[in-house]
Amino acid sequence: MAPVTYDHATRIYPGATNPSVNKLNLDIADGEFLVLVGPSGSGKSTALRMLAGLEDTNEGRILIGDKDVTNVSPKERDIAMVFQNYALYPHMTVRENIGFALKIAGVDKAEINKRVEEAARTLDLTEYLDRKPKALSGGQRQRVAMGRAIVREPQVFLMDEPLSNLDAKLRVQTRTQIANLQRRMGVTTVYVTHDQTEALTMGDRIAVLNFGVLQQVGTPRELYEHPNNVFVAGFIGSPAMNLSTFDIDPVSRTARTGQASIPLDDATLAAVAPEDNGQIVLGFRPEALEIVDANTEHTIPVEVDFVEELGSDSYVYGHLAGGGWHEAGADEGSAGQIVVRTPPLSGVREGEVIHVRIKEGGLHAFSKASGQRI
Q: What is the pLDDT of residues 46-101, one digit of tens each?
A: 999 999 999 999 999 999 999 999 999 998 999 999 888 888 999 999 999 999 98
CATH number of 239-367: 2.40.50.140
- Reported pTM: 0.89
Backbone angles phi, psi at 115, to 5 degrees: -65, -40
Nearest to 244 by CA among 334, 340, 359, 374: 334
How many whole angstroms separate alpha carbon 136 and alpha carbon 128? 8
14/169: higher pLDDT: 14
Residue 165: its pLDDT value, please? 79
Whether 127 shows a pLDDT value over 60: the answer reads: yes
How many whole angstroms separate alpha carbon 74 and alpha carbon 56? 11
SS3 23: strand
Contact (CB, 8 A) for 179 and 34:
no
Contact (CB, 8 A) for 67 and 144:
no
Backbone angles phi, psi at 6, to 5 degrees: -100, 120
Whether 333 shows a pLDDT value over 90: the answer reads: no
Nearest to 283 by CA among 224, 207, 354: 224
Tell me the mean pLDDT in the region 216-231: 97
Residue 329: its pLDDT value, please? 56
For the ranges 29-43, 151-165, 167-181, which has the lowest average pLDDT? 167-181
Nearest to 19 by CA among 52, 57, 48, 64: 57
Level-2 CATH architecture, domain 4-234:
3-Layer(aba) Sandwich (3.40)
Tell me the mean pLDDT in the region 11-18: 95
Number of H helices, E strands in the chain: 9, 20
Residue 20: its pLDDT value, please? 97
Whether 328 shows a pLDDT value over 80: the answer reads: no
Residue 332: its pLDDT value, please? 52
Pairing of strands 21-28, 33-37: unpaired
- What are the boundaries of each domain within the chain? 4-234, 239-367
How many whole angstroms separate alpha carbon 168 and alpha carbon 184? 25
